[in-house]
């Protein structure tokens, strides 16, 4: 084992792991306000990536396409909230689990019909040329993933801490009923969290697609790892998902290099099983784990 290769693999993998962290962060946003998550989040990543690809193919420059993609993701997040979550939560039920899965399947079919079943390349102006940083080569593309993920998470965390609307978001997570007594609409806050979560999913799609290509099946690989990260890191710590995401990404990259690419998915699954075995109720709360 060559230490410089290990370092190279670990760093590359860790940067990719930030995409899992970002998707898991999307879970955290909606869980905070509504104790619900979108089980079709992977499909949301996928349709947003396809939509962004279409914008690019229509001739929109990369930097103009990004806000369009984020807006689309936010709107799809609102669709999920309205169609899959709100009624179930009003009835204090857990119907949102099945409903969000179904909406995800709907997105999947829609994508297959609209864009076809093939994986397609996602053009980007960011070059794949490596730059040399303390003994390892990092491509600009990989670096863009890290910058994008940390920028949007940082922006959302700043929003939560510095603006009154953000503090209202935190108040609803802390005590929904008391927040209502302050004149804060919990329903609107939940909508906001789903909108943000959708935008975050769209950015994950835009960042990862130039590296992995876009296809209807890209959701399943991403979502499982995002779940692993969310379960291990918990659903309240943004810092936690970043650390766990990078760790899982590094582990995957090393596993696929040393054991063969078929083993790439293994660390995520092992991590998920371990986390659930050590904390059998899981951090999702009992109801969710019971039904997953």
Partner 1 sequence: MLIVEDLHAGYGASEVLTGATLSVKKGTLVALIGANGAGKTTTMRAISGGLKPGRGRVVLDGQEVQGLDASRIARLGLAHAPEGRKVFGPLSVEDNLLLGAYSRLPRFFGYRTSARADLDRVYDLFPRLRDRTKQAAGTLSGGEQQMLAIGRALMARPKVMLLDEPSMGLAPVIVQEVFRTIRRLKEEGITLLLVEQFAKSALEVADYAYVMERGRIAVEGTPAELGRDERVLAAYLG
Structure tokens belonging to residue 10: 């670990």
Q: 118 or 177: whose CB is closer to partner 1? A: 177
Distance CA 67, CA 215 (A): 21
CB of 170 to partner 1, least distance (A): 6
Please list the residues that pair with 133 across neighbouring strands.
136
Q: 32 or 149: whose CB is closer to partner 1? A: 32
Give the count of alpha carbons within 13 A of 197, CB side only.
31
Q: 86 or 225: whose CB is closer to partner 1? A: 86
Q: Which residues bind partner 1 (CB under 8 A)?
A: 162-165, 167-168, 170-171, 174-175, 177-187
Q: 50: Cβ–Cβ under 8 A, 6 or more apart, which residues?
A: 111, 114, 115, 214
Find how far residue 125's CA is from the centre of its chain: 23
CB of 201 to partner 1, least distance (A): 24
CB of 253 to partner 1, least distance (A): 36
CB of 62 to partner 1, least distance (A): 29
Buried b (16+ CB within 10 A) or exposed e, 87-111: ebbeeeebebbebbbebbebbbeeb
CB of 176 to partner 1, least distance (A): 10
Q: 128 or 165: whose CB is closer to partner 1? A: 165
Structure tokens belonging to residue 64: 């103009």
Q: 65 or 152: whose CB is closer to partner 1? A: 152
Q: 189 or 209: whose CB is closer to partner 1? A: 189
Q: 58 or 164: whose CB is closer to partner 1? A: 164
Radius of gyration of the chain from its Cα atoms, rounded to whole angstroms: 19
Tokens 């109801």 found at: 287
Q: 7 or 166: whose CB is closer to partner 1? A: 166
Enclosing H/E stretch for 131: strand 130-133
Q: Is 203 exposed, middle or buried (0-12, 13-18, 19+ CB in 10 A)?
A: buried
Distance CA 68, CA 92 (A): 34
Q: How many CB atoms lie within 10 A of CB 287?
A: 13
CB of 158 to partner 1, least distance (A): 11
- Asked if 179 contacts 172 with a C-beta cutoff of 8 angstroms, the reply is yes
Q: How many angstroms separate the most distant Cα atoms in the chain?
A: 61
CB of 116 to partner 1, least distance (A): 42
SS3 content of the chain, % helix, strand, coil (to 5): 75, 5, 20
CB of 83 to partner 1, least distance (A): 21
């Amino acid at each position: 084992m060559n230490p410089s290769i290990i370092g190279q693999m670990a760093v590359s993998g860790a940067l990719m792991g930030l995409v899992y962290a970002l998707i898991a962060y999307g879970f955290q946003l909606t869980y905070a306000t509504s104790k619900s998550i979108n089980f079709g989040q992977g499909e949301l990543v996928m349709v947003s990536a396809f939509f962004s690809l279409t914008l690019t193919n229509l001739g929109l420059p990369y930097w103009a396409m990004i806000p369009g993609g984020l807006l689309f993701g936010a709107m799809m997040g609102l669709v999920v909230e309205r169609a899959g979550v709100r009624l179930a939560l009003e009835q204090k039920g857990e119907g949102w689990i099945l409903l969000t899965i179904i909406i995800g399947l709907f997105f999947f079919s829609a994508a297959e019909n609209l864009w076809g079943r093939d994986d397609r390349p996602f053009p980007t102006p960011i070059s794949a040329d490596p730059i040399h940083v303390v003994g390892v080569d990092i491509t600009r593309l990989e670096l863009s993933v890290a910058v994008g993920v940390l920028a949007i998470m940082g922006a959302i965390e700043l929003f939560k801490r510095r603006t009154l609307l953000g503090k209202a978001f935190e108040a609803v997570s802390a005590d929904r009923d008391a927040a209502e007594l302050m004149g804060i609409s919990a329903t609107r806050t939940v909508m906001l969290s789903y909108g943000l979560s959708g935008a975050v999913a769209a950015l994950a799609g835009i960042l990862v697609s130039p590296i992995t290509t876009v296809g209807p099946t890209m959701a399943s690989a991403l979502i499982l790892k995002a779940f692993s990260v969310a379960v291990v890191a918990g659903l309240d710590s943004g810092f936690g998902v970043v650390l766990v995401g990078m760790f899982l990404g590094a582990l995957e990259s090393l596993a696929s290099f040393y054991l063969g690419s078929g083993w790439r998915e293994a660390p995520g699954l092992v991590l998920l099983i371990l986390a659930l075995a050590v904390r059998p109720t899981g951090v999702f709360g009992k109801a969710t784990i019971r039904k997953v």
